[in-house]
Structure 1
Amino acid sequence: MDGVTRQAPPVLADQGFFWVGVEREERAGGLMAAGQMFVQYMVPAARRHALPVVMVHGGGGQGLDYLGTPDGRPGWATAFLRHGYAVYVVDRTALGRSPYHPELHGPLGPPPTYGLMRGRFVAPELTPDAYPQAVLHTQWPGGTAVGDPVLDQFMAGQGPSVADLARVHADIQRCAAALLDRIGPAVLVTHSAGGSFGWLAADARPGQVRAILAVEPQGPPFAAAPGGELSWGLTAVPMRFDPPAAAPGEIGRELRAAPRPGLQDCFVQAEPARQLPNLREVPVAVVTAEASWKAAEDHGMVDFLRQAGVPAEHLRLEEHGLRGNGHMMMIERNSDEIAALLCDWIRRRAA
């Protein structure tokens, strides 16, 4: 948009796209492709890191959440390219450039409204009683009134998701495994409802996931979510536990008190806790913004992961001098500074 200062784009050695996880389903009209996940890739000419980064969007978003910002700046994909990483940006099944049809994918949930998205993502500070951290939000890159062009650009890219959470997670795991089978070892950057991609990919292909940056992942553990419940703790579909669990009800849970005021109590496993053996060698960072509603609950995800033997740490942006961010930190004013923090973490922690 007007007034945005632009750097020269990074020089690419290669770029392209493909789909993974293509299934074939027979319907009355004939044999059809279904369940696929779109993948766009970009490889910088000045590549400095062997491991590529896979970027996975959240809820009703799409890969464009990483390609640019609604006020016209380059997105995290460009920032990571400038830091020397090859980047793979996905559109999860039935979202974005992965075609949706109700006969193949099931019904959708409701479309997002301006009111919902403004209160959750754009301007939580306008409803400061919603949660304790809402008043701290300052980083939205445009106006907040209906009719603002930046707000319209953001809303235009948001849509409904498939209504059945278990089906969403099953598609995620199948497509994540297929992607890693094709590209090999990678670092995963996941966001929000795409957070299950990291846990399920590492569970299905533990040797291929070298690190996970879970940006405000869906949770907290065992929580109700749109279309279902995280009945397996982190996911709505089975994961491998040790000792094994044949059904979600076998995983005991207990409420752990919040570590300080302003945070909420969250469920963890009842002791002795089952372990997640396929994630025990995978460095994980849960990344949380200062002014998101997730600031009050993401500690629960970290507690669950550590309890299950996963080497997880909590990156709270404000502890690194990055203040005022909300849930959509990758499109906010200081998105490049946040990307630099994440790239530094990968450099230090990913083998």
Structure 2
Amino acid sequence: MTQLFAPWTTTRSRTVRRAHFWIPGERVSLGDKTYQRGPMYVEWEAPEQVTRQWPIVLMHGGGFQGTEWFDTPDGRPGWAQRLVEAGYAVLVVDRPGHGRSPYHVDVMGTMGPPFSYEGGRHIYFAGDDPRHTQWPFASDEESAIDEFIAGYGPLPADLEASETMDADRTAELLDRIGPAILITHSASGPDGWLIADRRPHLVKAIAAIEPMGPPFAEIPNIGPMRWGPTAAPLSFEPPAASPDDLRNATPGTYALPALDDLPILIVTAEASEFAAASPPTAAFLNACGASAELMDLADHDVRGNGHGLIYEMNSDDALVPVLEWLRLRTEAAREDVVL
């Protein structure tokens, strides 16, 4: 007999405000018809009283969707709810072509490869590293694996075009809502640098959770990071004529003025092989005039995590030092506000 699954019977009630809206894409003409290219779905939630000055925009990783911020694979509240409980208005996006943001090859270009079970196991599950102890279900728990992989889809084959759409739509989101904090994960990490480059006055801080990298890497099944920490071009000063000029330049030759004085945190996990990409990413940004800080969660006694730290068994603990960093970098010398 199938066991009934009724999570609403065990989840405590809470009072929040929530809704959704869309950031539309461009109109494109194909033959005698007009279509929309790359809209972005935005779902927001806020406590009855918002006590934090800046809202937080949560951006999901590669191939996944905004649901990765809502709940963990073992049914606990995710970072989105915890941030609302901490007093923030929270906006969760489905990046263009992911989740509820529709994709069609005729208007958005070729899809990349589908997301495989093997890829999911390699990226997230405990492998040969005995330190990785926080993944929330066993590797042979097939029904749990099925449900986890179900949320994944293909990325656009053109990484530069995908990042450009992400950054353009999120810049429009900030134009609509005003200044905000960005929290990115994995493949959306480069989006954070691109969005700040487009709207430096509207990005108040970036917390990048194991951002995709390192600079100039060829990311398997995703694409090349041609412009250092991004696949899409940034506004370097002086302008970089080509990716090769940027790659071959002495560190410090090029600056990124939009990142000057912007609080940036790059978070890494103890047992994630993807953590190795973060120090060179921070070094590149800092050589361009940024002030990116590295946070190894193990230094805060948050241990046993892999790349999926935002929904592993100690995800609440992993959020604590990030929240403290945000408080120190964005709320210093400020009275609490109620909105």
TM-score normalised by structure 2 residue count: 0.91
Listed one character per residue, the Cα deviations across residues 52-76 of structure 1 (whole Å, up to 9, x for unaligned) are 0000001011000001112111111
1:299 aligns with 2:279: yes
Whether contact under 8 Å (2:24, 2:36) holds in the other structure is no
Aligned equivalent of 2:51, options 42, 48, 51? 48
Aligned equivalent of 1:265? none
Listed one character per residue, the Cα deviations across residues 218-272 of structure 1 (whole Å, up to 9, x for unaligned) are 100111124431111111121111222132222144xxxxxxxxxxxxxxx5234
1:310 aligns with 2:290: yes
* CA shift for structure 1 position 156: 1.0
Listed one character per residue, the Cα deviations across residues 110-168 of structure 1 (whole Å, up to 9, x for unaligned) are 112212211221222xxx2xxxxx33111111121152x32222111112111111111
Aligned equivalent of 1:344, options 321, 324, 329? 324
Aligned equivalent of 1:249? 244
Report the Cα distance in structure 1 between the residues aligned to 2:106 and 2:247, rounded to whole angstroms: 37
Give matches, 1:202-221, under 5 Å.
202-221=196-215
Whether contact under 8 Å (1:23, 1:35) holds in the other structure is yes
Aligned equivalent of 1:236? 231
Report the Cα distance in structure 2 between the residues aligned to 1:36 and 1:287, rounded to whole angstroms: 29
1:77 aligns with 2:80: yes
Aligned length: 326
Give matches, 1:1-351, under 5 Å.
8-12=12-16, 14-28=17-31, 30-124=33-127, 128=128, 134-145=129-140, 147=142, 149-225=143-219, 226-253=221-248, 270-350=250-330
Report the Cα distance in structure 2 between the residues aligned to 1:150 and 1:4, rounded to whole angstroms: 19
Whether contact under 8 Å (1:70, 1:151) holds in the other structure is no
Aligned equivalent of 2:337? none
Report the Cα distance in structure 2 between the residues aligned to 1:118 and 1:66, rounded to whole angstroms: 19
Pair 1:10–1:198, CA change in 2 (3 A): farther
Pair 1:297–1:283, CA change in 2 (3 A): same
Q: Which runs of 5+ in 1 are unaligned?
A: 129-133, 254-268
Report the Cα distance in structure 2 between the residues aligned to 1:338 and 1:347, rounded to whole angstroms: 15
Whether contact under 8 Å (1:15, 1:43) holds in the other structure is yes
CA-based RMSD? 1.9
Structure 1: 4+ residue segments shifted above 6 A: 1-5
* CA shift for structure 1 position 4: 11
Whether contact under 8 Å (1:10, 1:82) holds in the other structure is no
| One-letter amino acid matched to 1:239 | L
Aligned equivalent of 1:131? none
- Seq. identity, %: 42
Listed one character per residue, the Cα deviations across residues 169-196 of structure 1 (whole Å, up to 9, x for unaligned) are 1101211210110111000000111112
* CA shift for structure 1 position 28: 3.2
Pair 1:252–1:60, CA change in 2 (3 A): closer
Where 2:290 maps in the other structure, the secondary structure is coil
Whether contact under 8 Å (1:141, 1:150) holds in the other structure is no
Aligned equivalent of 2:334? none
| One-letter amino acid matched to 2:237 | D
Report the Cα distance in structure 2 between the residues aligned to 1:249 and 1:232, rounded to whole angstroms: 9
Whether contact under 8 Å (1:10, 1:78) holds in the other structure is no
Report the Cα distance in structure 2 between the residues aligned to 1:75 and 1:335, rounded to whole angstroms: 7
Where 1:187 maps in the other structure, the secondary structure is strand
